[in-house]
């Protein structure tokens, strides 16, 4: 939601997730109580500001025809009634862009493009590995991903790349 983004301090509060409950998309707390606030880089802030401006422009252009989104008493996203919400992922006409869109992209990448090792969750692995390879503190990475402990981050999400191997070899040679 837009109110989860602090543009001034470049922070994102992760305090909810969206899951399909059979009737619609329901807003729930994150898995494992992993609410957290993470840093956003300058590029992401610029992209989010651009998207916010695009949505505001669309809201003006569509006027009364812009789809307003609500969450009802069961926290299900709908276009009829409840508390109005402002998701980040919206189409030009205001409708909600469902998470299944990214599942479809992942399927196309994995099956149709033949990249067998890819699935949507691979992006978390890549992000983790890139942060560690760039020198990010492992505790910072763990908190960013919302893992309960460093072992999950290291044993499941972090991977040794050729570049990381080369850098570690240089350290070994300096000893």
Q: In Å, what is the CA distance from 100 to each residue of 11, 58, 110?
A: 25, 23, 15
Same domain, 3 and 70: yes
Query: Residue-wise over 107-134: b if at least 16 C-beta within 10 A, else e?
Result: eebbeeeeeeebeeeeeeeeebbebbee
Q: Are residues 149 and 120 in the same domain?
A: yes
What is the C-alpha to C-alpha distance for residues 83 and 72, in angstroms, rounded to an integer?
Answer: 7
Contact 48, 89 (CB under 8 A): no
> How sure is the predictor about 31, in pLDDT bands with cuts at 50, 70 and 90?
confident
* DSSP-based three-state secondary structure for 171: helix
Question: Is the domain of 64 the same as that of 115?
Answer: no
- Among 81, 97, 113, where does a domain finish? 97
Same domain, yes or no, for 73 and 103? no
Same domain, 133 and 75: no
Mean pLDDT of 40-68: 98
Report which of residues 118 and 73 the model is more confident about.
73
Q: Structural domain tally of the chain?
A: 2
**With contact defined as beta carbons under 8 Å apart, do 154 and 138 qualify?**
yes
Is 21:14 a contact under the CB 8 Å cutoff? no
Q: Beta partners for 71?
A: 77, 83
| Of 63, 69, 64, residue with least CA distance to 86 | 69
Domain boundary at 97, 127, 145, which? 97
Helix segments in the chain, DSSP class H: 42-62, 100-107, 122-133, 138-145, 150-152, 162-174
pLDDT (tens digit, 9 = 90+) per residue, 77-122?
999 999 999 999 999 999 999 988 888 888 898 889 998 888 778 8
Last residue of a domain, one of 78, 97, 116: 97
Range of the domain at 152: 99-175
Q: Are residues 1 and 83 in the same domain?
A: yes
Judgement on whether residues 22 and 66 belong to the same structural domain of the protein: yes
Instruction: Give pLDDT, residue 10.
Output: 98
Regarding whether 121 and 91 lie in a shared domain, the answer is: no
Residues 68, 134, single domain; the answer is no
* 56 and 41 share one domain: yes
- Do residues 12 and 55 both lie within one domain? yes
């Amino acid at each position: 939601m837009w109110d989860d983004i602090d543009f001034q301090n470049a922070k994102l509060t992760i305090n909810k997730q969206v899951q399909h409950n059979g009737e619609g998309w329901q807003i729930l707390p994150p898995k494992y109580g992993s609410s957290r606030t993470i840093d956003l880089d300058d590029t992401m802030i610029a992209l989010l500001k651009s998207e916010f401006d695009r949505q505001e422009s669309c809201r003006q252009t569509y006027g009364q025809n812009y789809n307003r989104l609500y969450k009802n008493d069961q926290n299900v996203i709908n276009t009829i009634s409840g508390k109005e919400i402002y998701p980040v992922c919206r189409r030009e006409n205001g409708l909600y862009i469902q998470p299944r869109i990214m599942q479809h992209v992942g399927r196309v990448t994995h099956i149709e493009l033949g990249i067998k090792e890819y699935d949507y969750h691979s992006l978390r692995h890549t992000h983790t590995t890139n942060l560690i390879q760039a020198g990010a503190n492992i505790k910072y990475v763990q908190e960013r991903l919302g893992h309960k402990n460093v072992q999950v981050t290291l044993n499941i999400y972090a991977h040794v790349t050729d570049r990381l191997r080369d850098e570690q070899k240089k350290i070994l040679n300096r000893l």
